[in-house]
Amino acid sequence: MNDHSTTYTSTEYRTPDGAPTDIVVFTITSTEKAGAKKSLPIRALEVMLIKRKQWPFEGKWALPGGFTKETETVRQCAERELMEETGVSGVHLDYFNVYSAPGRDPRGWMISHAFFALVQEAYVASRRTSDEAADVRLIPVEEALEMDLAFDHGTILSDALDKIRQHMMTTTIAREFLPERFTMSELYQVIQTVVPSFQERNFIRKITSTQSRRGIIEEVRNAEGQPLMSNQYSQRPAQLYRFTDYTPELSIYG
Amino acid sequence: MNDHSTTYTSTEYRTPDGAPTDIVVFTITSTEKAGAKKSLPIRALEVMLIKRKQWPFEGKWALPGGFTKETETVRQCAERELMEETGVSGVHLDYFNVYSAPGRDPRGWMISHAFFALVQEAYVASRRTSDEAADVRLIPVEEALEMDLAFDHGTILSDALDKIRQHMMTTTIAREFLPERFTMSELYQVIQTVVPSFQERNFIRKITSTQSRRGIIEEVRNAEGQPLMSNQYSQRPAQLYRFTDYTPELSIYG
DNA sequence: TGAATAGTGTCTATCAGACACTATAGG
DNA sequence: CCTATAGTGTCTGATAGACACTATTCA
């Protein structure tokens, strides 16, 4: 419905006005329960948003991100912008989609590359504001989904959430939200925080004593071969586990 | 190592010289065995390549693709270029990665968006050459991987192959290579053609009589409820099946 | 001893994996 | 009756899902 009348010479093409990246930074915050002394914390999935200081969408909340430079890949751009805007670095960063609908950015023709990052709460404690942002804040995802975000960031956030839910069930990205050593309850809580519908009554047993899943996680032992335990969240000490570097291959056919 | 000395004003940024798409078109070709009269065909996974007529990489084989216009999404661009360059339309098209390494395209700063397409052999029978391509051809993937393709298309092809192998095992994309109604042998052959390591000795039984997998495929029956059979590939007629619109959710945790 | 979490015993129906076996129809 | 593919019988050990039960430690 447009410029088929123009001559077909490649040098006459209009070129994009920029190749931005947007990063959906997820973290799981832990809050101790009020009453009990030793109990599992309340966990919540939150996303990092920045309040814009400039046109366009001045005053609206947006995902961190920025423009790719000629000398870097879009991944390097995402890493750099994440560091510049939120002070977060060295984290798990996954590319998941491109957003190219005409008119999605009032500044011009912008094709944006979206990443999600999974970071531990401690990593974002030292976050800071930058030139471009009036405020950086962690917002519970359910709340963020209801907000009227800048650009098409509502769609991007929603897509990112779908992706990490799928990855949470099919890969070992849960490790990104956990310390090196963790208990089964912690793992179970993390999975449930990201995927609320997840429920396994015999979770511990399935992970530890099922041959086909043996290998994704292993018990942590000390030099003498004694199992290492933690009583951080419970009276009775719980076995500590760690992820191995093995990820099982899934199949719908068997 | 670069332009940190320049002033930090957004209007001074260099902008990309284009946002191309590249499409990895996979098809499975079937060849009848010479000797036998009724037997399963030999199937091969092939990829569509175009011989370039222009600088850069003139004379080299490349993936079909082209430049995104201001008025379309990258997906629409991929659909359009696929139609223009190969005559293929209305097929399964999945976005899988972005390629943005500086210097990947001698024409300038090009951030390319890669799709894979799954098409039936019949769809590509009517393929044609275009202005830009001297030749369009299906090449067996193993052969194509050995070739010195234009740009970083070797990497893109390799990545695409990884992706469809993973999708073949975890989604029902096998349907894109099959007719509406198919036999278990055909399905098994298609899976094996894409993922040679796949092997299930009790394949039929697992698909049809396992509760947890019941639902991805169903028997085809006629109006009277009689099972529909095919003896296209065998003396003994085989039950015909079709995919349902159900895709199971996989999990490494149970 | 109660609270809070960790973990086991045990039962049944189902499933995986292996292998031998029967079934169908054309030539 | 041979061949090529389709499909079943049957065995063992492993697993899923349910629920009741025991274990550990601190306050």
Q: In whole angstroms, what is the distance from residue A27 CA to residue A21 CA?
A: 19
Tokens of B78: 């991929």
The spacing between the Cα labelled CA in A209 and the C1' in D12, in angstroms, equals 19
Q: Which amino acid is at B5?
A: S
What does the CA dihedral A232, A233, A239, A245 come to, rounded to 10 degrees? -90
Instruction: Name residues whose C-beta falls within 8 Å of residue A198's C-beta, 6 or more positions apart in sequence.
Output: A169, A191, A192, B251, B253
Give the CATH class of B20-170: alpha beta
* Residue whose token pair is 């990593």: A123
Bridging pattern class, strands B20-31 and B112-119: parallel
Tell me, yes or no, if the two domains B20-170 and B173-243 fold the same way. Answer: no
Residues B252, A253: C-beta atoms closer than 8 Å: no
Task: Give how far the C-alpha of residue B254 lies from the chain's centroid of Cα atoms, to the nearest Å.
Answer: 30
Q: Are B113 and B94 a contacting pair, CB within 8 Å?
A: no
- C-beta atoms of A19 and B100 within 8 A: yes
- pLDDT for residue A12 is more than 70: no
Q: What is the DSSP-derived secondary structure letter of residue A68?
A: P
Please tell me which residue of chain B has the smallest CA distance to A208: B253
Distance, Å, A38 CA → C1 C1': 18
* pLDDT (tens digit per residue) in A37-62: 678 899 999 999 999 999 999 999 99
Which whole-number Å values give the CA distances from B144 to A76, A102, B158, in the listed order?
30, 35, 9
Positions on chain C within 7 A of a protein C-beta: 3-9, 14-19, 23-27
Q: What is the mean pLDDT of chain A?
A: 89
Residue numbers in B near A254 (CB within 8 A): 200, 202-203, 206-207, 213
pLDDT at B176 over 90: yes
- From chain A, the residues in CB contact with B98 under 8 A are 74, 95, 98, 113
Let me know: does A25 contact A82? Beta carbons within 8 Å.
Answer: yes
Q: What is the pLDDT of residues B115-146, one digit of tens each?
A: 999 999 877 665 544 445 458 999 999 999 99
Average pLDDT value for residue range B177-201? 96
Class of A173-243 in CATH: mainly alpha
Q: Would you call A100 and B74 a contact, using CB atoms and an 8 Å cutoff?
A: yes
In which element (H, E) is residue A133 found?
A: strand A133-140
Kindly report, residue by residue over B56-105, the tens digit of the pLDDT.
999 999 999 999 999 999 999 999 999 999 888 899 999 999 999 999 99
Among partner residues B16, B17, B252, which is closest to A216 by beta-carbon distance? B252
Query: What pTM does this model have?
Result: 0.92
pLDDT at A131: 47
Contact B121, B30 (CB under 8 A): yes
Evaluate the omega torsion of the peptide bond into residue B56 and state whether it is cis, within 30 degrees of 0: yes
Distance A207 CA to D19 C1' (A): 19
CA B96-B186-B251 angle, to 5 degrees, is 45
Query: What's the CA–C1' distance between A232 and D15, in Å?
Result: 32
* Model confidence band, residue B37 (pLDDT cutoffs 50, 70, 90): low
Of how many residues is chain A composed?
Answer: 254
Give per-residue burial for A116-130: e unless 16+ CB within 10 Å, then b: bbbbeeebbeebebb
* Phi, psi dihedrals of residue B91, rounded to the nearest 5°: -120, 170
Question: Inter-chain contact B252–A254, Cβ cutoff 8 Å?
Answer: no
Token couple for B213: 């997998």
Nearest Cα to A92, choosing from A70, A120, A134? A120
- Let me know if B52 is exposed, middle or buried by CB neighbors in 10 A (0-12, 13-18, 19+): buried
User: What does the alpha-carbon distance between residue B240 and residue B205 come to, in Å, rounded to a whole number?
Assistant: 14
Q: Given this model, what pLDDT does residue A5 score?
A: 35
Residue B12 has, within 13 A of its CA and on its CB side, a CA count of: 7
User: Do A115 and B78 touch, CB atoms closer than 8 A?
Assistant: no
Q: How confident is the model at residue B8 (pLDDT cuts 50, 70, 90)?
A: very low
Which nucleotide's C1' is closest to A236 (Cα)? Answer: D24
So what's the pLDDT on residue B209?
A: 79
| Cα A239 from Cα A228, distance rounded (Å) | 6
* Cβ within 8 Å, pair B250-A74: no
Q: Which residues, 6 or more positions from A39, have their beta carbon under 8 angstroms from its beta carbon?
A: A32, A33, A233, A234
Judged by average pLDDT, the poorest of A31-40, A77-86, B183-192 is A31-40
Q: What is the DSSP string of B69-124?
A: PTTS-HHHHHHHHHHHHH---S-EEEEEEEE--TTSSTTS-B-EEEEEEEE-HHHH
CB of A204 nearer than 7 A to strand C: yes
Is pLDDT of B213 > 90?
A: no
Tokens at residue B16, please?
Answer: 């990309």
At residue B215 the predicted structure's pLDDT band, cuts being 50, 70 and 90, is confident
Which B residues between 163 and 202 have a beta carbon under 7 A from any strand C atom? 200-202
**Protein-proximal positions, strand D, CB < 7 A:** 3-9, 14-19, 23-27
Indicate the helix (H) or strand (E) that contains A45: strand A42-52
pLDDT of residue A218: 92
Verify whether the Cβ–Cβ distance B71 to A2 is below 8 Å: yes
- Chain A residues 125 to 184 whose Cβ lies within 7 Å of strand C are 183-184
CA–CA separation, B238 and B227 (whole Å):
10
Written as six digits, the tokens of A16 are: 């994009």
- Tell me: pLDDT of A3 over 80: no
- Interatomic separation, CA of residue A239 and C1' of nucleotide C9, rounded (Å): 20
Say whether pLDDT at A130 is over 50: no
Q: Percentage of residues in chain B with pLDDT exceeding 90?
A: 75
Q: What is the pLDDT of residues B88-102, one digit of tens each?
A: 889 999 999 999 999
Q: Do A3 and B67 touch (CB under 8 A)?
A: no
Q: Which residue is nearest to nucleotide C26 (CA to C1')?
A: B235
Amino acid A235 CA to nucleotide C5 C1' distance, rounded Å: 7
Q: Which residues pair with B229 in a beta bridge?
A: B239
**Measured between alpha carbons, how far is A46 from A151 in angstroms, rounded to an integer?**
20
Contact (CB, 8 A) for A117 and A88? yes
In chain A, what are the domain boundaries?
20-170, 173-243
Shortest Cα–Cα distance, B202 to chain A (Å)? 9
The residue in chain B having the minimum alpha-carbon distance to the alpha carbon of residue A4 is B69
Q: What is the pLDDT of residue B125?
A: 60
Contact between B104 and B22 under an 8 Å Cβ cutoff? The reply is no
Rounded to an integer, the average pLDDT of B14-18 is 96
